[in-house]
Amino acid sequence: APCQCEVDPRVRKNCGYPGISPLACRKAGCCFNASVPGIPWCFAPKARKVRKVCPNEPQARINCGFPGITAKECRRKGCCFRAHPAGVPWCFYHRVLEE
């Protein structure tokens, strides 16, 4: 994502080799910005910030359990548990949101 390439030039970590082209840099999964001389132009992107949330919409639930699973068993598997409404999974996977 473009926001991952908004790295302060003073803390850029080199991700390429001398003379690397912008295309080769991006193909390697790195960011390229040649606007500041004397610092790496091909550099590692910022880590993605993600958070896990339990979906609110029952139709968005993806089953993570089995019929009769308890809330404790479900949470032990690392999943969300909501014992309502009927007809949808009560134990279901988190949704990962990128911030």
Q: pLDDT tens digit string along 36-71?
A: 999 999 999 988 778 899 999 999 999 999 999 999
pLDDT at residue number 50? 81
pLDDT at residue number 23? 96
**Domains in the chain and their CATH numbers?**
1-47 (4.10.110.10), 50-98 (4.10.110.10)
pLDDT band at 4 (very low <50, low <70, confident <90, very high): confident
The SS3 of residue 5 is: helix
pLDDT band at 97 (very low <50, low <70, confident <90, very high): confident
CA distances, 75 to each of 8, 50, 70, 95, 98 (Å): 39, 20, 9, 15, 22
Average pLDDT on 73-98 reads: 93
Q: Judge whether 11 and 43 are in contact, CB under 8 Å.
A: no
